[in-house]
Structure 1
Amino acid sequence: MRVAVSGAAGRMGEATCSAVSGAEDMELVARIDPLLDLELGAALREQQPDVLVDFSRPDSAVSNIRSAVAAGVHVVVGTTGFDLEQLRGLSGANVFVAPNFAIGAVLMMSFAAQAARHMRAAEIIELHHDGKLDAPSGTAALTAQRIHEAAPDKPVPPIHSVRLPGLVANQEVIFGDVGQTLTIRHDTVDRACFMPGVLLAIRRVQTQPEPLVIGLEALL
């Protein structure tokens, strides 16, 4: 499977390039990034990847995705901070989007949705490295959505964002009720934890049941 990575000079992009290079069923054919002097259009034309993995920026992700789909290239998206509604109706290739590729984060969201049915209120605290551009994070926004879907009679939980050096990606959901609290927390200490999910999405995006699929839980 021929794979190109957009945002290849970033932290997640570099980790993805390493993971793809180490996968026996994949070939890394392009590292796309302004810092690497490789433009997306040229890579799509010259390298003809099967899948594009996008870990670019919120202000360029939608354009990247549309260009790839128009070229018949499936896209796995890890970039957050843009309106996903802009991806609906695209045709020509499939798009898979995951705000978080860590299995533990997916479980955290699932447990939070379950707890929301039984606890009175919740708040979300998400903590990321100081280089993260969007706030709140895509994971926090999706967690709030999942909680509201599970308990629509309760308010959407507020989100508090922290950006500090030394962090990678952390999130906790704090539930409160009479005389008790419950905290569900996921901590990322190494970006390697995202790579099994990224590789799974690359392998599945070509055969996913719908043109647009959101959330790693759809593949598990």
Structure 2
Amino acid sequence: MPDSSVPEADAVGIDAPGTDSGSTPIRVAVTGAGGRMGAAAVDAIEAADDLELVAALRRGDDLEQVVRARADVLVDLTVPDSTEEIVHFAVRNGVHAVVGTTGWDEARLAALTDALAAAPGIGVLIAPNFAVGSVLATAFAAKAARFFESVEIIELHHPDKVDAPSGTAARTAALVAEARRAAGTAPSPDATRTGTPEARGADVDGVRVHSVRLRGLVAHQEVLLGSPGETLTIRHDSLDRTSFMPGVLLGIRSVTTAPGLTHGLDAFLGLEER
């Protein structure tokens, strides 16, 4: 059984450049603190010497608490129906945001980009996944995708998850598709002509994505790549929500020096230019 405590969450050595444990702590507020992910984030922030938890908001709490607490960074771990309002509130009030809530489609991202243009110096990180291993697995899949004839994605989560496919799978599919287009790779072959259409999964930017919802799972993803005579499987498993905490802390420490919109932890991990 994984240890549900979080004091070890910062032990992977991915502090943001310039982090100084002797400097003034970053003041952090959390929305969605009543959920499992939010509760884990609260514990991780409280255990970090360079961060100070100044507000932990649950459903229905007044967002003005974030302002009254003089938060530097807001961590949003709520639900898709609420996240846009919460993040725009933070931007309007000069508070950086780290967002782990899904539901940020192209239209929402464009509106947020416009809002940030009117708030110079404010940074927002939208992170489809905070697990460092998951971010790496997606990067590896995008790098490998142009070398294989076929690619499909299977994502597996607990049945309480409200969206499908997951934000991680959607981002993986987008990056895989972008890499294949840039390399001139042909679409994955598929001779299916009859049967139940849903059996082939969702078409996300030309990549088939299959969603599994099963009690006992946390967050898991497989990218399957194939060419004649060989297959490659890139799989990541989050077995406990503590796996997301190093990424949450990295996002908090990094977003204050990254004005504008950052999509994904990749840049903060040095995987790509921001």
How far the C-alpha of 1:98 sits from its partner, in A, is 0.8
Q: Deviations over 1:83-138 (max 9, x none)?
A: 13332212322111110111111111111112111100111000011111111111
Residue 82 of structure 2 corresponds to residue 57 of structure 1: no
Report the equivalent of 2:134: 105
- Write the distance in 2 (CA, Å) between the matches of 1:104 and 1:142: 15
Report the equivalent of 2:168: 139
2:218 aligned to which of 168, 171, 185:
168
What amino acid is aligned across from residue 268 of structure 2 in structure 1?
L
The count of residues paired between Structure 1 and Structure 2 equals 216
Report the equivalent of 2:149: 120
1:201 aligned to which of 248, 251, 258:
251
How far the C-alpha of 1:163 sits from its partner, in A, is 1.1
Report the equivalent of 1:217: 266
Report the equivalent of 1:12: 37
Local SS of the residue matching 2:45: helix
- Write the distance in 1 (CA, Å) between the matches of 2:51 and 2:126: 20
- Write the distance in 1 (CA, Å) between the matches of 2:241 and 2:213: 17
Q: Deviations over 1:171-194 (max 9, x none)?
A: 000112112221110001011111
- Write the distance in 2 (CA, Å) between the matches of 1:169 and 1:154: 30
- Write the distance in 2 (CA, Å) between the matches of 1:218 and 1:51: 19
What amino acid is aligned across from residue 200 of structure 1 in structure 2?
L
Local SS of the residue matching 2:34: coil
**What residue ranges of structure 1 are gaps of 5+ in the alignment?**
none
Q: Give the structure with higher Rg (CA).
A: 2
Residue 207 of structure 2 corresponds to residue 157 of structure 1: yes
Note the aligned Cα RMSD (angstroms): 1.2
- Write the distance in 2 (CA, Å) between the matches of 1:81 and 1:126: 17
- Write the distance in 2 (CA, Å) between the matches of 1:75 and 1:169: 23
Residue 78 of structure 2 corresponds to residue 28 of structure 1: no
Higher relative contact order (CA 8 A, sep 6+): 2
1:192 aligned to which of 226, 230, 242:
242
Structure 1 runs of 4+ off > 3 angstroms? none
**Could you tell me whether the CA contact under 8 Å between 1:98 and 1:215 is conserved in 2?**
yes
- Write the distance in 1 (CA, Å) between the matches of 2:32 and 2:66: 14
2:104 aligned to which of 65, 79, 82:
82
Q: Deviations over 1:28-51 (max 9, x none)?
A: 1111111xx5221x2123212110
- Write the distance in 1 (CA, Å) between the matches of 2:235 and 2:176: 15
Over the matched positions of the two proteins, sequence identity in percent amounts to: 54
Q: TM-score, normalised by structure 1?
A: 0.94
Local SS of the residue matching 1:207: coil
Q: TM-score, normalised by structure 2?
A: 0.76
- Write the distance in 2 (CA, Å) between the matches of 1:98 and 1:45: 23
Residue 227 of structure 2 corresponds to residue 177 of structure 1: yes
